[in-house]
Amino acid sequence: MKYKQGQSGNPEGRTKGKPNRLTSTLRDMMNNFLSDHYSKFVEDFESLKPVERTKVYTNCLQFVLPKINAINLDTGPEPIGEIKMISVRKKLVDRLTEISKEGGNGEDINNVTNRLNRKDNEN
């Protein structure tokens, strides 16, 4: 063995972003294959049904567009806990009851109040 175990001729390792030789070789081979057979691919692509053509097109996009990472759009406060939700529902029921007594649309308010009460009883 030329080097001791765990050591190599390059203690810094491979340069960041530089693919290994096998990856480079395979990439070159695939690039040559696709270049050599491009006109046949286009011919086959055009003969596909629209649904199949769309699938092929979207599958090819992953090789030319950068990967998109999921983003978190939740910029609001922490999620409300179940106990807090019950408290909020109770306040809402109380306020809807007041509105009903003041002459609001009683049927709609009663429907909402009953649904909220059922939800509280389920928990």
Q: Which residues contact 120 (CB under 8 A, 6 or more apart)?
A: 86, 89, 90
In sequence order, which ranges of the chain are alpha helices (DSSP H)? Answer: 21-36, 38-47, 50-61, 82-101, 106-122
- 57 φ/ψ angles, rounded to the nearest 5 degrees: -60, -50
pLDDT exceeds 70 at position 81? no
Task: Locate 18 and state its tokens.
Answer: 């530089």
The answer to the question of residue 69 being in a domain is: no
Say which amino acid occupies 120.
Answer: D
**DSSP single-letter state for residue 12:** T
The answer to the question of residue 93 being in a domain is: yes
Tell me the percentage of the chain whose pLDDT exceeds 70: 59
Q: Which residues contact 67 (CB under 8 A, 6 or more apart)?
A: none
Q: For the segment 8-64, what is each residue's pLDDT rounded down to a tens digit?
A: 667 677 677 776 778 888 888 888 888 899 999 899 989 999 899 888 888 888 877
The pLDDT assigned to 92 comes to: 75
- Using an 8 Å Cβ cutoff, are 93 and 116 in contact? yes
The answer to the question of residue 104 being in a domain is: yes
Domains identified in the chain, total number: 2
Q: Which residues form the domain of 57?
A: 21-61
Last residue of one domain, picked from the residues 30, 61, 92: 61
**DSSP single-letter state for residue 5:** T
Last residue of one domain, picked from the residues 61, 93, 114: 61
Neighbours of 51 (CB within 10 A): 7
Q: Are residues 87 and 55 in the same domain?
A: no
The answer to the question of residue 99 being in a domain is: yes
The pLDDT assigned to 123 comes to: 55
The answer to the question of residue 45 being in a domain is: yes
